[in-house]
Structure 1
């Protein structure tokens, strides 16, 4: 089975170059291998997100990883990078002959200029400004991606860790777990450091959040 997956990954390597050559400099195509979630980028062409081979997946990729074999393709969604680029993307899961998900092929298009033109035309025509686009962290350093996810959850609650109730703390770990954060090695110590708590506390919160989820599923 591993040979089959390796063959699929190898076959896609020249495909990413061909797609970018066809669509141009505003396109990036990435192949992710979920068997190595810390450094999932195994082939890449284009430079929309600034990543290279050996780079990490974004929080969107972690969400696909978390859903496992239940994951489906996510097509034509729009996000904004931390440096302000507006990116239209599609993520297509890779499956082996048993149907198991083991990776993804992602296409990212930098539509910043199109978005700016659309906004200008909208203002001139008196049209409503489009809704805020969510920000996504892309990078070669998986630790930076993890930090951004944790920070986003704390900002949503508008409270530091010390002011969160126990159920809110468990909810934070449950949410991070569902988004695939803890599939990444070193994720628990990284999250603990970001929250300013001990590793033991982080492992305890993660364990308890999973126990609560299991009990809810069996109820």
Structure 2
């Protein structure tokens, strides 16, 4: 087992053993237990009572965080020439088509989100083995395959993130930075959790929200009372 550093032990000491915190308390405490020297990412992990192996219990969707992600999201818009101007105006960092398809084929993936149009998806198919594992393949369900390219780019830039339950039944999402105020962290975390609650699959039985943890990069997780969200 890895040896705990002095700072990690100090952070752990601030979290009461066996206590379930309210989301508001956790949103304040996560700032106190963050001890790294950079602006750490604040993450939420929600364990759901679903079986992700069953298609009717898969939880996947998008949420627009009211206070943004705190991260400058790099967006590539793969569009036809007639859509280039609106993509640039909406804030896309890279705009084009064939030249970027070639760059991706050669291994370039220095972007966070790719937005494209339905007519271009056929060209992206062969690049699935590069984009898929990195979570970069556009998907109509997350709003990244659309004719309204400007709207999609603007939403991503404003704090729209996509999430999906992993094979262990947990949804992990970065919802801000440790430099955010407790109110901003709370607002973003609550938006994600409420979105998950609304998405409960009808096939899921028993307790749906099993556990919630709020943490920042390298910090210990703070357990949140699922019944109080």
Shorter-chain TM-score above 0.5: no
The structure with the greater share of residues assigned to helix is: 1
Normalising by the residue count of structure 2, what TM-score does the alignment of the two structures yield?
A: 0.28
